[in-house]
């Protein structure tokens, strides 16, 4: 990698709407915060797309040498239904519907979320804080906002005073909304008696006696507003101004706009240097969402048991399908696109196998360093995974042509191509060979086959000490190799 002309990493900052060179505040450290799921129901594939795109960012930053602290929260309280401040808490609603303790709902869907993240090979964040674990800090932030004069208390609730803030500070920069238009559009609509203005949002909400999740505070028994938790948890772990804050585009307004206002009001600081927003997964052009009823769960996707699915698809096929689209574009779900992704991924994985079996020649018919450079350039250009994958298909073409004897590569170039393809496919794109995601027996067979291959190589080099050691150690693990005229087989003893 050292000989690469490594371009600086460019990222589209949704705050400035420009592609900018990414320079962390304290290199080589990078602070990354991503809004996590609200754990009141199963995640759908749209949610998975967003988390997978941030997984790609995390993997890329790590790959190019940054030390990333990746914080992704779990929203386990305070996500009100709709924007109305008097809506019901989603977790409480889920608990009532399922006749569970709110924390049972939280645990159940947190476990489910983790299983899905593992299934799609998304790496664990460095810290996964919960809103309920940070109530003291949230109360502290409400107090700071009250002190700054940008919030007011009514009947045990505390509201952020949006018109006052907008008159004195910058408001609406991230989402491009103008306060005058917002005020004009909302005037006199809902009868929310407690608020001075319909644009104001709750940062602390008084709990009715029947409300399930509530805590004591200086303003009485209540619960925190949704926007507050992300302001508190991001700055607690990453500092009052940190590098990257991400989430789906639908969170820009009001959630992220409110986060900025809260931080500026409480601490007089812009919280985030680079905002990154990923685009939506759509079905027939409409955003996949629970309320639309057009969302399916990863489980349904794998089993194929859903009216939108012609059949089941493996998690790596779906991951590859997602990575073949740039994060800032919408991605429309279709069976044809998934089947095309499945075929493409198969070609890529076959080429990786073929590359292992390729014999070196004595000249170079392809420019591997050039190919490598183009892969890095694509990813450094705002995480352009579709262009990088197109370069990988160029690599597939080269591998196949070497395999067919039409082109040659020296052993140095073959090794460089192998390293490049492996690191891009496995480390950066996070693709696992599909067979390794199967049951334990398939994984075991894959492992034993690897040892059989190593033993053959040792034998070919007349290194009988190693080949015998492999055979004997496998016996120690209860695995007996048998050499037959058709090759080596194995059985458990």
Residues in contact with ligand AMP by CB under 6 A are: 35, 37-38, 46-47, 49-50, 247-248, 250-251, 280-281, 287-289
From the list ligand AMP, Zn ion, none, partner contacted by residue 326 (C-beta under 5 to 8 A by kind): none
How many other CB atoms are found less than 10 A from the CB of residue 22? 21
Integer Cα distance of 291 and 294 in angstroms:
8
- Least distance in angstroms from the C-beta of 294 to ligand AMP: 9
- Ordered alpha helix ranges (H), 203-323: 226-238, 257-267, 298-303, 315-323
276 is an interface residue for Zn ion by CB under 5 A: no
Q: Is the peptide bond before 358 cis (omega within 30 degrees of 0)?
A: no
DSSP state of 426: I
Integer Cα distance of 416 and 144 in angstroms:
56
Closer of 49 and 214 to ligand AMP (Cβ): 49
Question: Which long-range contacts does 186-190 make (Cβ < 8 Å, 24+ apart)?
Answer: 190/84
State residue 360 phi and psi, 5-degree precision.
Answer: -70, 150
Integer Cα distance of 392 and 247 in angstroms:
28
- Least distance in angstroms from the C-beta of 361 to ligand AMP: 46
From the list Zn ion, ligand AMP, none, partner contacted by residue 72 (C-beta under 5 to 8 A by kind): none
Which among 430, 321, 421 has a CA at the least distance from the CA of 60? 430
Tokens at 421, concatenated = 């393809």
35 is an interface residue for Zn ion by CB under 5 A: yes
The helix/strand/coil state of 196 is: coil
260 is an interface residue for Zn ion by CB under 5 A: no
- Least distance in angstroms from the C-beta of 68 to Zn ion: 18
- Least distance in angstroms from the C-beta of 181 to ligand AMP: 24
From the list Zn ion, ligand AMP, none, partner contacted by residue 230 (C-beta under 5 to 8 A by kind): Zn ion
From the list Zn ion, ligand AMP, none, partner contacted by residue 93 (C-beta under 5 to 8 A by kind): none
From the list ligand AMP, Zn ion, none, partner contacted by residue 248 (C-beta under 5 to 8 A by kind): ligand AMP
Show Cβ contacts of residue 185 under 8 Å, excluding neighbours closer than 6 positions. Answer: none
Closer of 289 and 466 to Zn ion (Cβ): 289
Q: Name the residue number minimizing CB distance to ligand AMP.
A: 248
Closer of 275 and 320 to Zn ion (Cβ): 275
From the list ligand AMP, Zn ion, none, partner contacted by residue 368 (C-beta under 5 to 8 A by kind): none
The helix/strand/coil state of 248 is: strand
Closer of 35 and 158 to Zn ion (Cβ): 35
From the list Zn ion, ligand AMP, none, partner contacted by residue 345 (C-beta under 5 to 8 A by kind): none
Residues that bind Zn ion (CB under 5 A): 35, 230
């Amino acid at each position: 990698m050292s000989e690469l002309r490594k371009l600086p990493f460019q990222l589209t900052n949704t705050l400035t709407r420009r592609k900018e060179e990414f320079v962390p505040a304290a290199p080589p450290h990078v602070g990354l915060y991503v809004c996590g799921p609200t754990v009141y129901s199963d995640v759908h594939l749209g949610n998975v797309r967003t988390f997978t795109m941030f997984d790609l960012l995390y993997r890329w930053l790590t790959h190019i040498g940054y030390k990333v602290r990746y914080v992704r929260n779990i929203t386990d309280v305070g996500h009100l239904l709709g924007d109305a401040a008097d809506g019901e808490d989603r977790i409480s609603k889920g608990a009532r519907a399922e006749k569970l303790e709110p924390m049972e709902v939280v645990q159940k869907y947190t476990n489910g979320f983790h299983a899905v993240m593992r299934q799609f090979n998304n790496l664990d964040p460095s810290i996964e804080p919960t809103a309920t674990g940070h109530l003291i800090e949230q109360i502290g932030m409400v107090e700071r906002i009250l002190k700054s004069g940008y919030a007011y208390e009514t009947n045990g609730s505390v509201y952020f005073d949006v018109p006052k803030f907008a008159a004195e500070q910058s408001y609406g920069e991230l989402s491009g909304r103008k306060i005058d238009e917002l005020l004009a559009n909302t005037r006199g609509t809902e009868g929310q008696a407690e608020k001075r203005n319909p644009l104001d949002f709750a940062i602390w909400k008084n709990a009715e006696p029947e409300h399930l999740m509530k805590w004591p505070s200086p303003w009485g028994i209540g619960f925190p507003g949704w926007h507050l938790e992300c302001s508190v948890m991001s700055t607690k772990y990453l500092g009052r101004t940190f590098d990257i804050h991400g989430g789906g585009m639908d969170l820009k307004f009001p959630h992220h706009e409110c986060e900025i206002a809260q931080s500026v009001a409480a601490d007089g600081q812009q919280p985030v240097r680079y905002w990154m927003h990923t685009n939506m997964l759509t079905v027939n052009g409409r955003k996949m969402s629970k309320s639309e009823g057009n969302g399916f769960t990863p489980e349904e996707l794998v089993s194929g048991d859903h009216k939108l699915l012609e059949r089941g698809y493996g998690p790596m096929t779906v991951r590859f399908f997602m990575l073949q689209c740039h994060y800032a574009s919408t991605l429309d779900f279709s069976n044809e696109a998934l089947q095309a992704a499945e075929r493409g991924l198969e070609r890529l994985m076959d080429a990786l196998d073929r590359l292992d079996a390729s014999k070196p020649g004595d000249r170079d018919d392809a420019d591997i360093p050039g190919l490598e450079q183009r892969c890095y350039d694509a990813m450094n250009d705002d995480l352009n995974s579709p262009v990088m994958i197109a370069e990988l298909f160029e690599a597939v073409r080269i591998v196949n042509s070497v395999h067919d004897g039409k082109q040659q590569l020296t052993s140095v170039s073959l090794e460089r191509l192998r390293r490049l393809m492996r690191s891009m496919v496995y480390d950066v794109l996070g693709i696992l060979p599909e067979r390794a995601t199967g049951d334990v027996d398939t994984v075991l067979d894959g492992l034993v086959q690897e040892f059989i291959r190593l033993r053959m190589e040792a034998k070919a080099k007349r290194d009988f000490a190693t080949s015998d050691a492999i055979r004997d150690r496998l016996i120690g693990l209860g695995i007996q190799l048998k050499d037959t005229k058709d090759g080596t087989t194995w059985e458990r003893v």
